[in-house]
Amino acid sequence: MIIRIILVNYGLMILTKRHFETINNSGFTWTDIQKPTRDNISTLGNQYPFHELNLDDSLSKIHIPKVDKYKDHLFILLNFPVNMQHEYDIPKVSQLSIFVGINYLITIHQSEIEPLVQMFQLCKSNEKERETSMGDSPGFLLHSILEALVSDLFHRLSKIEGNLQDLEDEIFDERTKSAKAKEINLLRREIASLRRIAMPLRSRIYEITNEIQKFSKEDIISYYNDVEDHVDKIIETLAEAKETIEIYKDVYYMLGTEKANKILSILTIIFTLSIPITVISSFYGMNINMPGRIEAPSTFLGPYTSMIEVIMISLIPTLVMYWYFRRAGWMDFG
């Protein structure tokens, strides 16, 4: 029995070593778990007094953001974007689960959230960075994590604004011939995806601000208020970007419609002007006697009199229609 307990504990140690990375600073620990398994979460449940429903939620890939409050800890679920391979790719959303208590903070995520991973590795390898980011309490560390993730959202917004600027120059440039419908739709989706992340984030950070002080000896509320302000700016910027891309979509549609109408108008006029010669040539193609046909050719203008007659008869109504179209303004494509 004793040997079995030792083997079980040894197995848990292996799992912990393989999937759990822990940093100690100022009397508390930061544990980061990436791509957790059921065994990892069971190990976590044995070490900490976490509710089983919260542990199950931390295993899900996408869950509604929330903050569950307990006497000795908080359970936080947030969503953040992960890296995109291409400039116009739609951001994939990754869930970040956080357990924060008096002397610990645990982050759990299925995908590699780059700002979080980079921050953890810096704290792990650099003592000065560890003291700066982790501070003296889990509450301050949580602020540092949120600040890094919100800063990453700002970075993504700056790229969106740059893409919008480039798109504006191309849409309103008459020399641009390439289609921009795909870029417009992809930007719309990217903005909508970031809005779905940022909108709940503001409410969740507000809830965290009201509860986090008990997990820190120093006053950290002002730090969280600063994060709230940053999230508000992100939401405002996204709202402006959404309005701008909708304007670009409407303008692009109107310009495309106007261009198509011009093409159709030109083709219609060409077809209309060709009607007289089509009608006259159809008459001369009939098997009946008509002036100028081979059976009774006209010769007063030479051997090509019949052809000249047909051309003149066709041109007269064509020129009359052309004059009328110009006078009516139907041929003004400026």
Q: What digits encode the pLDDT tens for the residues 8-30?
A: 343 334 334 445 789 999 889 99
Per-residue confidence at 298, pLDDT binned at 50, 70, 90? low
Find how far residue 223's CA is from the centre of its chain. Answer: 29
Is the CB of residue 113 less than 8 Å from the CB of residue 121?
Answer: no
Written as one letter, the residue type at 99 is F
* First vs last C-alpha separation in the chain: 92
Is residue 218 left, alpha or beta, with left meaning phi > 0 and alpha meaning psi from -120 to 50? beta
DSSP assignment letter at 1: -
Q: So what's the pLDDT on residue 13? A: 40
User: How far, in Å, CA of 89 to CA of 190, rounded?
Assistant: 8
Read off the tokens for 180. Answer: 């921009």
- Total length of the chain: 334
CA distance 214 to 192: 35
Amino acid at residue number 49: P
Q: In terms of pLDDT, which residue wins out, 240 or 314?
A: 240
| Residue keyed to tokens 């800063």 | 151
What is the pLDDT at residue 12?
37
Strands in 66-69's sheet, in edge-to-edge order, are: 20-25, 28-34, 104-109, 93-101, 73-81, 66-69
Of the given ranges (25-34, 59-68, 221-230, 253-262), which has the lowest mean pLDDT?
253-262
Tokens standing for residue 222: 């002002």
| pLDDT one-digit tens code per residue, 161-212 | 888 888 887 777 766 556 677 888 888 888 998 999 999 999 999 999 999 9
**Please, what is the angle between helix 138-171 and helix 127-134, to 10°?**
90
Query: Closest Cα partner for 119 from 110, 111, 129?
Result: 129
Q: Predicted confidence band at 218 (pLDDT cuts at 50, 70, 90)?
A: confident
pLDDT at res. 308:
72
Residue with the larger pLDDT of the pair 301 and 220: 220
Whole-model pTM? 0.73
pLDDT exceeds cutoff 90 at 7:
no
Question: How far apart are alpha carbons 19 and 29 in whole angstroms?
Answer: 16
Which whole number is the average pLDDT over 61-65? 82
pLDDT confidence band for 145 (50 / 70 / 90): very high
What are the residue boundaries of the structural domains of the chain, listed by start? 2-257, 274-328
Q: Is 1.10.645.10 the CATH classification of the domain at 2-257?
A: no
> Which CB contacts under 8 angstroms, 24+ apart, belong to 31-34?
31/104, 31/105, 31/106, 31/107, 32/106, 32/107, 32/116, 32/117, 32/120, 33/106, 33/107, 33/108, 33/109, 34/109, 34/110, 34/112, 34/117
Alpha carbons 200 and 185: distance in angstroms, whole number: 24
Does residue 83 contact residue 93 with C-beta atoms inside 8 Å? no
Lowest model confidence (mean pLDDT) among 93-102, 218-227, 259-268: 259-268
Mean pLDDT of 249-276: 80
Mean pLDDT rounded to a whole number for the chain: 81
What pLDDT score was predicted for residue 6?
35
Per-residue pLDDT band for 260 (boundaries 50, 70, 90) equals confident
